[in-house]
Amino acid sequence: MTNKRWIDGGFHVVRELASGEEQLELARLGAEIIANAPLLVPQMPDGTPFRCKVTGAGEGMFFADQRRGYHYAKRHPETGAQLPPIPGLMLDLWFRALERAGIHRCRFDSMLLNEYDAHTGGRLGLHVDTQERDVTKPLVSISLGADCEFLIGGPDRDFKPDKVVITSGDAVVMSGRSRLWFHGGRAHVAHTSDSATARNPVGFPSACCLRVGVWLTRPETRTRTSTLVVGTFGRS
């Protein structure tokens, strides 16, 4: 599914970006990242917990709590340890997603990894990502595991969002005007059909990635860099 509004706004759904073998490798790499940087549940400024778990790799990860609000952490917020490096496969997928969306290749420095449990209502409400220093650069989300319903709205909350189902291995790219559109989504419990198994070769039955890649600017170099988001999901 696509429409003129998406194309004009710079919103792209990249189907089957990651092959089955690449998805299996992403699952392994994601587990390594989680082992070194455990998943955490962020809190909104009023103390309400997110309905997902997050971690990251590279030079920073998105987080939220009552003390600092929405922000990027250079170290793991709980352990204080340095974040793991970003695996090369994730860099390759980032560049491939940009290429298929017709966007110039860009450098990046950080990766966000979110886990959403469909059995417990894992979701991300409509929001706009504005914590980044350069909000003109594209956002990318790569989904892994169970299907999700991605919501893509408009420049304000009054705009009724479109719904699009994203399956394992798909990516979403938000560039141009759509970079500041409201968006969100929720995880679906995977179907048990053969076709669903083919879409989700990693076998994660209960969650999916909804967070998107973002851009940061390193103050010490003033060099524009970006982040990639990949999720690993449905872990028992």
Q: Digits of tens for pLDDT over the chain (236 positions)? A: 568 888 899 999 999 999 999 988 988 898 899 999 999 999 998 999 998 899 999 888 889 899 988 888 999 999 999 999 988 898 889 889 999 999 987 777 788 888 887 777 778 889 898 877 778 888 888 888 878 888 999 999 999 999 999 888 999 999 999 999 999 888 765 543 344 444 555 555 444 453 334 434 333 322 333 334 444 333 32
The pLDDT value recorded for residue 226 is 36
In a domain, 236, yes or no: no
Q: Is residue 95 part of a domain?
A: yes
Q: What pLDDT, on a 0 to 100 scale, did the predictor assign at position 201?
A: 54
Three-state secondary structure call for residue 193 = coil
In a domain, 59, yes or no: yes
Domain span holding position 176: 4-230
CATH number (domain holding residue 188): 2.60.120.590
Q: Is 201 helix (H, G, I), strand (E, B) or coil?
A: coil
Split into its structural domains, the chain has a count of 1
For residue 146, the one-letter residue type is: A
Q: What is the pLDDT of residue 230?
A: 46
- Measured distance CA(146)–CA(117) in Å, rounded: 9
28 belongs to a structural domain: yes
Sign of CA dihedral 122, 34, 105, 20: negative
What pLDDT is recorded for position 197? 47
Rg of the chain in Å (alpha carbons): 16
Whole-number Å distance between alpha carbons of 142 and 154: 21
User: By C-alpha distance, which of 96, 61, 59, 98 is closest to 231?
Assistant: 61
